[in-house]
Structure 1
Amino acid sequence: MKKYLLSILCGILLLPGCNYLDMVPEKDIETIESLFEQRTKVENWWKGLYSELNRIFADFRVNTAYLGADEFVTCQALYNSTLYNLDGLKIADGLQMSQNPYGSIWYRMYVVIRNCNIFLENVDHTYNMSEEDRNWWKADVKAVKAYVYFELVRRYGPICLIPQNMPVDLPVKDYQLPRQHVDTCFKEIINLLDESMEYVPKHSQRISNYGHTFSLEAVYALKAKVLLYAASPLFNGNAFYSDFKNKDGELLFNSTYDRNKWLLAAEAADKAAEMCEEGGRALISGTTVKKTDLLNKMSDIETMTFSRFTNSEYLLEWKYPSTFHQFFLPRLVGDDDNFDSQALGCLSPSMKMVEMYYTSNGLPIDADITWSYNNRYKLGSESSPVYEGVIPMNTDVVNLHLRREPRFYASIAGDRMYWQRGTNTADKDYNLLVRAHKGEEPWGTQYDFIVSNSWQNINGYWLKKHLFSWYNTLGYSNNLQGNETAAIIRLAEVYLMQAEAWNEYLDQPDSRVYDPLDKVRERAGILPVREAWGNYSNNPTKVTTKVGMRDIIHQEYGIEFAFEGHRYWDLRRWLTAHQTMNEKQYGWNVIGTTDQAFYNYETGPVVVWSSNKFIAPRDYLDPFDAEEILISGMVQNPGWGGR
């Protein structure tokens, strides 16, 4: 009976790595020892660690952070699809549960942790390996383990730490490890990263075959990110969890706010930025071949999202699935030159995100005195050559689409906006004008109502970000090589971490806040933050205060990292998710056949989704599977007791 219970425990909770590597006769344990004698097999083991991380964190279908916030809306057909299983959408609607939770990584990550430990415990016995490589690989695996711990902590809060693997012949009670105080968890992550820094090479010192591994710049950036989370309101003085305890009564959160945590994060972010700049890492910029400055800047922003382990601002990158594009490419039925049967075109950027992008002056649309916020849903037109090839000239266009920043035009496609959907030829112009009214083939819906059984765009917007304009819509996947990557950490995040951490630590913002923020804004093609707010805003002093800059920095995160899986975490660590995640989702009346009908007679968008739900404090931390709680003896996260 003991062995049976032990097998259950290993398989379900803390020792999910109790697979063939541990559940074997004694004589076969030597297989691991012999495996780690050979460099080639050891390297395959090392690569296997990344393979599992790649499958979880770079796949937007599996990593629920991509779809679990308020950045997307979709039709019922995709929402309910059992073929695609986009579970993040269910989390956004408050449907998370403790019985078989959506997006659970607990089991799989402890497999990785166990395999990291096996590597670290055995790699010293590999005989045909230089000490330089041995030290590097060990350091890298420590960074991997730190990353896994971090992903667990930001999902579950306090976790169980496994410094080394446990023998399989212990009494069952010895496997029932308690959760550690969240500060202890953060300290262990930082210790692992500090230990790895001595031997992890800089990006420039690695050969291309190892582009998926940690560079030294990535280790420093991850350290800054971990410390930023430790300083953020979710983990720093959170009153929600002031009474959250282990079963033995030990508190798991510190309810007292510690300002000095922001200083540690700020200094770590400064060091990460220094390491990146020394290593030649840089934001993508400088395109000059397009017809206008705006098109050049849009090209910079688009190119920023493209990498095959070749992007100068990607500090840590892993391959994403080759099917990513099909959810966002427009479904241009009836257009023989541009229709691709794989394209669904029904996972759309939300109206909230459309309105989040700045004006051309680099300000929120409700803060720019040169931009008419009250008339944003009315029709206007554009005549400036600045917007040639982006907005049709002297044509009725909703004001919401006019005089916006380059990131808006590089990321969002909407009615009466151009979208470059292929490389132009002598006889074919692929800069397509989106015409989204009902009956306007191929963009507009052909249905008379919102349907539940077809791939229908329900709000009149398409996502351009992550799609590459030089590849035609028809046959798009034929251009992909299978080694395109998603950014896990990129340089712009380091700069925004600097700005945020210094702003939270200082009594009043200074150049330590403004300068790194302006690096991101400069690449985005907008004015420096003080110039924009001082000259064009309805609140010129906002930029001079800690609270004002906090709001500005938060919006900058939302724009710069839109649709990259960041907003899900940012809203949680800032403790603002319950204020923003319960709002209805809006869009245009896609069954309208005229400008007036489509734009709801210029009165504003219509509700297209009303199920978003976030319950505090429950939804700030993910639940453990109820069965795991039953077996392990761990305490469940607050709010998930009976669910």
Structure 2
Amino acid sequence: MRNIYKILVAIILSFSLFACSDELLDKQPLDKFSEASVWQDLNLAEVYVNNQYKVLPKLGWYEWIRSYQLSCFTDEATHKYGYHSIYDYWGGIMGPSIPTGIDVWRYHYEFIKGCNEFLQKIDTYIPEDDEEEAIKDRLTGEIYALRAWSYMDLAARYGGVVLITEPFGLNDDFLRTRSTFDQTVELVISDLDNAIQRLPLSYPDDSNWGRITKGAAMAMKSRMLLYAASPLFNPTNDITKWEQAAAAAKAVIDLDLYEMEGDFKQMFLTNKNREIILSRGNDAVNNDGLFDYFEVAEGLGGGIDGNDYNGGWSSTMVGQALVDDFEWDDGTMFDWENPAHAADPYGIGENGQVDGNGDPLRKRDPRFYASITFDGSPWISDSLVQFWICEESNNYNLNPFDPSFTLSYTVYGRNSIGNPKRWGVAETGYSYRKSMDPYYNLDKEQFPRSIPWIIIRYAEILLNYAEASFEAGDPDVAIHWINQVRARVDMPPISGSGDELREIIRHERRVELCLEGHHFYDARRWMIAHETFNKPLVGVRIVKDKFSDTKVYNLFEYEQRSWPEKYYLQPIPQYELEKVTLQQNPGY
């Protein structure tokens, strides 16, 4: 891709040369270009398209709610500081006037408007040669894919929505109604098919890294069709929808462009690898680097004395339900009733214990260690996270943050609730780790780290194919691809049939894609959220014996939660209902 921003700056500077001329009032403003100029300059049209990419989620400031912090609206995690109106959500009072931080209605329609504007106006540009024709066609494909992304996310959250495919004029009829969910899916697939026809499989160099490719559009199609085939949106279990979803995922596999990275943990820390199908980069200059400060636990990563970022905020605190879902490395499930499990729940033995090869002992699914920070996690130069405390109270099962609970701390781990600087500690006993580099020193590096948010990766496509194939009646295909995903982290192969295999497939998706925002959609489309979300979020308090290294792991209810069944679809926000008459979703 040509360096559009340099070109844009050059154009602006060229205008400034005429600032003292008599024709100043006839010149275009320096901070913007006329509408006509955008559509008569392919460079400016590309800048316009680049701006539309902001609709995609990333790790940046206040954009976390559209990426990993969607996990806080599931049983995976909670938010320490109550951002995104999360207390209203878990209080069961989300509604049209309290849409909470997960409301994206206005957000997506603003980008849809921009996409529609492009699709209407770009045809006024007459390419000078075949190269410009190809660029114009590619930009059009990107816009179709970006509009599809918005409608896909709207459909997955609200069901059928208002379909707008052209810019509104002053004399247009604004009285639109909601289309059905199936009609919304049809538009998404149509847009993606248009994109697939226009987009390249790849780019010859890294200058276009992050742009939507043919494979990315095909992967979006796989996700949309999987959602459409699921119980929430396919109550009659139309098998043809599962077959369509399976075919879409298989088409991505057959491209033979992608593969799973060998190192699961490192895959999230590199900007480019063959597992990434679509990602959005972080801007380390414009506060996106704050991601590390917000998520690292208190006392980790260095810290800057004298400000609010002293060692981390532990914003996304993981719950026990997710921790317990990671198997042991032999494929057995974790069980607190098993004394051996309860004595060493993280499979690390005594601190510093090694296995027969001299490597640190790790007896749980390797994805656990790459996804969650826990007591005993390594962090920077082989130091270990310390979430334990020593205390003199025997009220082990009380929530330590209940006002009636008092402790007399004598010794405490530096990252624990016993720390006098406990403002930033992980109160559930666990914090977010995926996409975080334990060797990144916040004190030394401060804000420069730039890492991508992976929006779609190859493992998701394999899991899509496995699930859709099973539901379409081909369990052998499902087993094969589930085992491919597990083999990457040396987990033993699975087998099964019927409902048991369905649960295995869903379980594998949960642990592989945990804390990436997927479970927010998956638990609802499977229609299990009213059972799995409608219970307290549990944490752990680790009490260490004063005179030995023996630890006792005490579970407690950290956060009470209510998840009414109307939450399967989000409410149409009141600000929209006041403008037009739309049918509200059930229960609101």
TM range (shorter): 0.7 to 0.9
Q: Equivalents in 1 of 2:517, 2:525: separation in Å? A: 14
Counterpart mapping for 1:564-583 below 5 A: 564-583=516-535
Measure how far apart 1:59 and its partner are. 2.4
The match for 2:486 is: 521
Q: Tell me if structure 2 keeps the 8 A contact 1:390–1:409.
A: no
Measure how far apart 1:54 and its partner are. 4.4
The match for 1:19 is: none
Structure 1 residue matching 2:56: 3-state secondary structure: helix
Measure how far apart 1:605 and its partner are. 1.2
Aligned residues: 521
Q: 423, 432, 436: which is aligned to 2:388?
A: 436
The match for 1:144 is: 146
Q: Do the aligned partners of residues 597 and 305 (structure 1) sit closer, same or farther apart at CA in structure 2, a change above 3 Å counting?
A: same
Q: Do the aligned partners of residues 447 and 183 (structure 1) sit closer, same or farther apart at CA in structure 2, a change above 3 Å counting?
A: same
Q: Do the aligned partners of residues 306 and 447 (structure 1) sit closer, same or farther apart at CA in structure 2, a change above 3 Å counting?
A: closer
Counterpart mapping for 1:40-439 below 5 A: 40-54=43-57, 59-61=63-65, 65-75=70-80, 78-79=81-82, 85-88=83-86, 90-102=88-100, 103-127=102-126, 130-170=132-172, 174-203=173-202, 205-237=203-235, 256-275=236-255, 277=256, 279=257, 281-285=258-262, 300-308=263-271, 310-320=272-282, 321-332=288-299, 341=310, 343-345=312-314, 347-366=316-335, 373=338, 375-378=340-343, 381=349, 385-386=355-356, 390-391=360-361, 403-415=363-375, 417-421=376-380, 429-432=381-384, 434=386, 436-438=388-390, 439=411
The match for 2:545 is: 594
Measure how far apart 1:143 and its partner are. 1.0
Measure how far apart 1:459 and its partner are. 2.3
Structure 2 residue matching 1:446: 3-state secondary structure: coil
The one-letter amino acid of 1:621's match is: L
Q: Tell me if structure 2 keeps the 8 A contact 1:328–1:462.
A: yes
Q: Equivalents in 2 of 1:55, 1:601: separation in Å? A: 38
Q: Tell me if structure 2 keeps the 8 A contact 1:62–1:87.
A: no
Q: Do the aligned partners of residues 214 and 372 (structure 1) sit closer, same or farther apart at CA in structure 2, a change above 3 Å counting?
A: same
The one-letter amino acid of 1:407's match is: R
Measure how far apart 1:372 and its partner are. 7.4
Q: Equivalents in 1 of 2:508, 2:145: separation in Å? A: 28
The one-letter amino acid of 1:613's match is: S
The match for 2:399 is: none
Q: Tell me if structure 2 keeps the 8 A contact 1:419–1:434.
A: no
Q: Equivalents in 2 of 1:501, 1:599: separation in Å? A: 46
Q: Equivalents in 2 of 1:118, 1:361: separation in Å? A: 55
Q: Tell me if structure 1 keeps the 8 A contact 2:387–2:429.
A: no
Q: 2:554 matched to 1:584?
A: no
Q: Do the aligned partners of residues 517 and 96 (structure 1) sit closer, same or farther apart at CA in structure 2, a change above 3 Å counting?
A: same
The one-letter amino acid of 2:165's match is: P
Q: Tell me if structure 2 keeps the 8 A contact 1:331–1:341.
A: yes
Q: Equivalents in 2 of 1:628, 1:337: separation in Å? A: 44
Q: Equivalents in 2 of 1:433, 1:66: separation in Å? A: 23
Q: Do the aligned partners of residues 72 and 597 (structure 1) sit closer, same or farther apart at CA in structure 2, a change above 3 Å counting?
A: farther
Measure how far apart 1:478 and its partner are. 4.2
Measure how far apart 1:200 and its partner are. 0.4
Q: Tell me if structure 1 keeps the 8 A contact 2:374–2:430.
A: yes
The match for 1:23 is: none
Q: Equivalents in 2 of 1:117, 1:231: separation in Å? A: 28
Q: Tell me if structure 1 keeps the 8 A contact 2:413–2:419.
A: no
User: Could you tell which deviates more after superposition, 185-194 or 205-214?
Assistant: 205-214
Q: Equivalents in 2 of 1:384, 1:187: separation in Å? A: 55
Measure how far apart 1:420 and its partner are. 3.2
Q: Tell me if structure 1 keeps the 8 A contact 2:72–2:316.
A: no
TM-score between both structures, scaled by the size of structure 2:
0.81
User: Could you tell which deviates more after superposition, 226-235 or 99-108?
Assistant: 99-108
Measure how far apart 1:379 and its partner are. 5.3
Structure 2 residue matching 1:632: 3-state secondary structure: coil
Measure how far apart 1:462 and its partner are. 2.9
RMSD value, Cα: 3.2
Structure 2 residue matching 1:432: 3-state secondary structure: coil
Measure how far apart 1:134 and its partner are. 1.1
Measure how far apart 1:32 and its partner are. 2.1
The match for 1:635 is: 583
Q: 2:564 matched to 1:606?
A: no
Measure how far apart 1:187 and its partner are. 1.0
Structure 2 residue matching 1:197: 3-state secondary structure: helix
The one-letter amino acid of 1:509's match is: P
What whole-Å deviation, never above 9, does each CA across 1:304-329 have from its counterpart, x for those lacking one? 21232x12211110124321122321
* Same amino acid, percent of matched pairs: 24
Q: Do the aligned partners of residues 319 and 66 (structure 1) sit closer, same or farther apart at CA in structure 2, a change above 3 Å counting?
A: farther
Q: 425, 433, 439: which is aligned to 1:464?
A: 433
Q: Tell me if structure 2 keeps the 8 A contact 1:414–1:436.
A: no
The match for 2:16 is: none
Q: Equivalents in 1 of 2:54, 2:315: separation in Å? A: 30
Structure 2 residue matching 1:588: 3-state secondary structure: strand
Structure 1 residue matching 2:73: 3-state secondary structure: coil
Q: Equivalents in 2 of 1:385, 1:49: separation in Å? A: 50
Structure 2 residue matching 1:460: 3-state secondary structure: coil
What whole-Å deviation, never above 9, does each CA across 1:118-148 have from its counterpart, x for those lacking one? 1111112224561111111111111111111
Q: Equivalents in 2 of 1:208, 1:311: separation in Å? A: 12
The match for 1:497 is: 464
Q: Tell me if structure 2 keeps the 8 A contact 1:90–1:96.
A: yes
Q: Equivalents in 2 of 1:258, 1:491: separation in Å? A: 26
Q: Tell me if structure 2 keeps the 8 A contact 1:351–1:586.
A: yes
Q: Tell me if structure 1 keeps the 8 A contact 2:289–2:447.
A: no
Q: Equivalents in 2 of 1:196, 1:266: separation in Å? A: 20
Measure how far apart 1:411 and its partner are. 2.1
Q: Do the aligned partners of residues 472 and 525 (structure 1) sit closer, same or farther apart at CA in structure 2, a change above 3 Å counting?
A: farther
Measure how far apart 1:599 and its partner are. 9.4
Structure 1 residue matching 2:113: 3-state secondary structure: helix
What whole-Å deviation, never above 9, does each CA across 1:390-436 have from its counterpart, x for those lacking one? 34xxxxxxxxxx72111112222322x24132xxxxxxx43435352
Q: Do the aligned partners of residues 337 and 489 (structure 1) sit closer, same or farther apart at CA in structure 2, a change above 3 Å counting?
A: same
Q: Equivalents in 1 of 2:175, 2:194: separation in Å? A: 28
* Alignment gaps of 5+ in structure 1: 1-27, 80-84, 238-255, 286-299, 392-401, 422-428, 531-542
Structure 1 residue matching 2:177: 3-state secondary structure: coil
